[in-house]
Chains A and B, each alone.
Chain A
Amino acid sequence: MAQELFNKSISELSQLLARGEVSSLELMQSVVARTKAVEDRVRAFNSFDEPDALSQARASDERRAKARAAGTAVHALEGIPIGIKDVISVAGQPLTAASRMLANFVSPYDATVTRKLKAAGAICWGRLNLDEFAMGSSTENSAFGVTSNPWDVERVPGGSSGGSAASVAAGEAIASLGSDTGGSIRQPAALCNIVGLKPSYGRVSRYGLIAFASSLDQIGPFARSVEDAATVLGAISGHDPKDSTSLKMEVPDYNKGIADLAKSGRKWKLGIPKEYFGEGLDPEVGAAVQAAIDEYRKQGCEIREVSLPHTKYAIAAYYIIATAECSSNLARFDGVRYGHRSKDAKDALDLYFKTRAEGFGPEVKRRIILGTYVLSSGYYDAYYLRAQKVRTLIRRDFLEAYKQVDAIVTPTSPTPAFKKGEKAANPLAMYLNDIYTIGVNLAGLPGISIPCGFTGGGLPVGLQVIGQPFKETELLAVARTYEERNDWRMRFPKL
C-alpha cells in the first residue's frame, strides 16, 4: 500500500508539492481527516481550527502558483502543516498552557517562531497538549486531558511536549514545535519514535513562548527525520531583537552542512559517559543504545569513554534553578490583566490568593512553592546560589569532555514509555525520569533524540546525541550517520 500523505516526511512532501502531484489543500485535508479518525484515542490537541488551516493551505497553493509563474523558488516548508505546542503564541488562536489559568486566553500576537514559520509558508496547525505550563514528563499534568502514546494508548507519550510528539507519531501533523526546559522535546520524541531537537540556548528566539524557566527554555522541532528537523530548525533560528538572550550568530544552511560533512567522509569521535549507563537504566533501552554505539563504530567512528562526574547532581540543581525561575515567571498570573480571575475575592490581596489557588494545578503549585522557598530570605545562598555553582561544575564537565570528542552519545530516557498513572502520585519519581536530558539544559547545549529501536513489547527507544555549543550542523550530521543505516523511523504505530 502506498504510504499515506499524513505519514510522509517534509522532504518527500515538498517534492510532491513542487511537482504539482499534490496540493497543500489535499495534504491539509489528509492531515485533518487523520486527526479526526484517531484523536479520540490520541488526544494530542487541546484545540484545532479546521477552517483556518484549510484557508492557510489554499493561500499556500496560490503563493506556489504565483511563484511557479514567476519562476521563483519557495521554501521547503511551503504548504506543510506544522503543529504548535499550546505554550507558543499564534495570533488569534487560543493559548492555554494546558492550564485553567489561561483556559480562555487568545494570543494577541505571533511568537517569533510562529512569524518565521508563516514567512516560510508553513501552515500553523492546532494547539498541542502539554503538562501545565510545561511542568512535567508525561503530559498527565494537563488541565484538559491526558495525551496517549500512539504506540500504546495505555501509556504516556512523555512530556512536557507530549501532544507535539504524539501528533507527529500518529500522523496528525507532519512536524511540530515543542519547548525543552529539562528534556521536554527529547524525552517525548524518544518515547514516540520520532526525532526531537533542542537547539543551543540562544539559537531560537523565546519571544511569544510562555516562560517557565527563562535560563533553560528553548523551542525546537519534532519531525520524522533528521533532515526534516534541520529544515524546521533553519526556518525558526536566528537573532531576534525581541529576545535579548537570543544570540547574534549566523544561521547556517543545516542540510547543506550535513551533506557537506557526509561527503567529506569525516569520522566522528564520540564520547560515551559512563555515568549515563548505570543504575536505573532499563536493560532493553541499554541494549538498543549499545547496538547504536556498535553501529557508529562500524561506520568508522572512534568511541571513547568519557566522564561527566557531576551527572548525579543535575536533577537536584535543576529542581532548584527551574522552580526558582518559575516562581518568578508565574508571579504575573494574578488575575488582573489576563487569565482566570476569582469571582469571590474580598480585596486585591485576596484576589491573588484565590485566583492562583483556583487557576493553577497541583504540580504548578508545588513548583511555585519550592521555587519561592529556595529564593526566600535565609535560604537563597544555601539552595539557589549553591545550585548555580553546581550548574557551573556540570557545564565544565561537558566542556572538558569536548576537548576529547565531537559529540556525546547516551540513552534519551532511562525507560520506555510508562503506564498512565504510574508515577502521577510521586513527583520525585517523575523528576528522576529526566536524568539524561537535564544536564544539557543546564549547560545550554544542543541535543537531539532519534529513534534507535524497540523493546520486546513494541515500545520505542530513543538515542540522544549531545553536541557542542552552537554546532547544530555537526550534531545533526552525527545523528544522520546513524539514522541512514536503519529504518526505525519508517515504522508507524497501528491506531
Chain B
Amino acid sequence: MPKPEDFNLDHVAELARINLTAEEKARFASQLGDVLAYIAQLNEVNVEGVEPTAHAFPVVNVWADDVPEAGLSVEDALRNAPEKRDNMFVVPRVVE
C-alpha cells in the first residue's frame, strides 16, 4: 500500500475540482493524514485469491420494456437551473 506521505493534496483537489483555502489545506492534510494512517491497517489482511465485492447482491442486465413514458417537462427540468434562457441552461463560454 502507498505511504501516507505519498498523498498530494493539491493534486487530488485539482482532480476533484475543488478550490481549497490555505487554512483548509493545512487542516485537511493533517486530518486526512490520520485517516490514511488508520486505513493502512488493511495491509495486514491476506486478500490473496479473494474476489472483490462491488455490491452485496449484484444484479446484472436489468432491462426495462421499450415503452415510451412521460419524463420531466422542460419547465420542471429547468426549475432549479442557476441561469436559463429559451428552454436552455446558460453556461459560461467554453469555446472561443
Contacts and interface: CB of A to CB of B under 8 A. Distances in A.
Interface residues of A, number: 76
A493 interface: no
A372 B89 contact: no
A338 B9 contact: no
B60 to A, nearest CB: 10
A395 B31 CA distance: 29
A392 interface: yes
Nearest to B8: A373
A335 B83 CA distance: 10
Interface string A299-317: 0000000000010110111
Contacts of A310: 45
Contacts of A427: 31, 34-35
A369 B41 contact: no
Contacts of A372: 12, 15-16
Given A356-B17, A383-B1, A386-B47, A366 B32 contact: yes
A298 interface: no
Contacts, number: 172
Nearest to A202: B57
A368 B50 CA distance: 27
Interface string A183-227: 000000000000000001110000000000001000000000000
A45 to B, nearest CB: 21
The interface size bin for chain B is 35 or more
B26 interface: no
A353 B93 contact: no
B76 A376 contact: no
B39 to A, nearest CB: 5
A316 B41 contact: yes
A469 B57 contact: yes
A365 B15 contact: no
B28 A365 contact: yes
Contacts of A280: none
B22 interface: no
A353 B80 CA distance: 20
| B contacts with A: majority SS | loop
A336 B83 CA distance: 8
B52 A392 contact: yes
B64 A353 contact: no
Nearest to B41: A316
Given A338-B81, A365-B20, A390-B42, A247 B1 contact: no
Interface in B4-59: 6-7, 9, 12-13, 15-21, 24, 27-28, 31-32, 34-35, 38-39, 41-42, 44-45, 47, 50-57, 59
Contacts of B68: none
Interface string A328-352: 0001001111111100011111111
A244 interface: yes
B68 to A, nearest CB: 14
A252 interface: no
A445 B57 CA distance: 10
B7 A373 contact: yes
A346 B13 CA distance: 19
A105 B79 CA distance: 9
B83 to A, nearest CB: 7
B32 A357 contact: no
Given A317-B42, A369-B9, A428-B35, A241 B57 contact: no
Given A368-B18, A388-B53, A428-B31, 9 more contacts: A247-B57, A315-B38, A316-B39, A337-B81, A347-B93, A347-B94, A348-B92, A357-B19, A428-B38
Interface of A: 104-106, 108-109, 200-202, 215, 241, 244-245, 247, 310, 312-313, 315-317, 319-320, 327, 331, 334-341, 345-354, 356-357, 360, 362, 365-366, 368-370, 372-373, 376, 378-379, 382-383, 385-393, 395, 426-428, 431, 442-445, 469
